[in-house]
A and B are shown apart, each in its own frame.
Chain A
Amino acid sequence: QVQLVESGGGLVKPGGSLRLSCAASGFTFSDYYMSWIRQAPGKGLEWVSYISSSGRTTSYADSVKGRFTISRDNAKNSLYLQMSSLRAEDTAVYYCARYMILPGDAYRAPSDYWGQGTLVTVSS
Chain B
Amino acid sequence: EIVLTQSPGTLSLSPGERATLSCRASQSVSSSYLAWYQQKPGQAPRLVIFGASNRATGIPDRFSGSGSGTDFTLTISRLEPEDFAVYYCQQYGSSRTFGQGTKVEIK
Query: B88-107 interface mask toward A, CB cutoff 8 Å, 1 = contact, 0 = none?
Result: 10101101111111000000
Taking a contact as CB atoms under 8 Å apart, the answer to whether B47 and A110 are in contact is yes
Is B8 close to A, CB under 8 A?
no
| Chain A residue, CB-CB nearest to B93 | A108
A98 to chain B, nearest CB (A): 10
Chain B residues whose C-beta falls within 8 Å of the C-beta of A108 in the assembled complex = 31, 33, 92-93
Least CB distance from A106 to B in Å reads 11
- Chain B 39-52 near chain A by CB (<8 Å), digits 1 or 0: 00001111100110
Q: Does A46 contact B (CB under 8 A)?
A: yes
Cα–Cα distance between A59 and B56 once the two chains are bound (Å):
25
Judging by beta carbons under 8 Å apart, are B100 and A47 in contact? Answer: no
CB-based contact A45/B33 at 8 Å: no
- Point out the residues of chain B lying under 8 angstroms from A44, CB to CB: 88, 98-101
A109 touches B92 (CB 8 A): yes
Range of interface residues on A (Cβ < 8 Å)? 10 to 19
- Residues in A44-66 with C-beta less than 8 Å from chain B: 44-47, 59, 61
Q: Does A59 lie within 8 Å of B92, measured CB to CB? A: no
Q: Mark A35-48, 1 if CB is under 8 A from B, else 0.
A: 00000000011110
Q: Are B92 and A114 in contact (CB under 8 A)?
A: no
**Once bound together, how far apart are the Cα atoms of A116 and B37, in whole Å?**
15
15 interchain pairs, CB-CB under 8 A: A45-B37, A45-B88, A46-B98, A61-B95, A102-B50, A102-B51, A108-B92, A109-B50, A109-B92, A110-B35, A110-B90, A112-B47, A112-B57, A114-B45, A115-B44
Q: A44-B101, A45-B37, A116-B43 are in contact. List 15 more A-B contacts (CB 8 A).
A: A44-B88, A45-B88, A45-B98, A47-B97, A61-B95, A95-B45, A100-B47, A108-B92, A109-B50, A110-B50, A110-B90, A112-B56, A114-B45, A116-B44, A117-B44
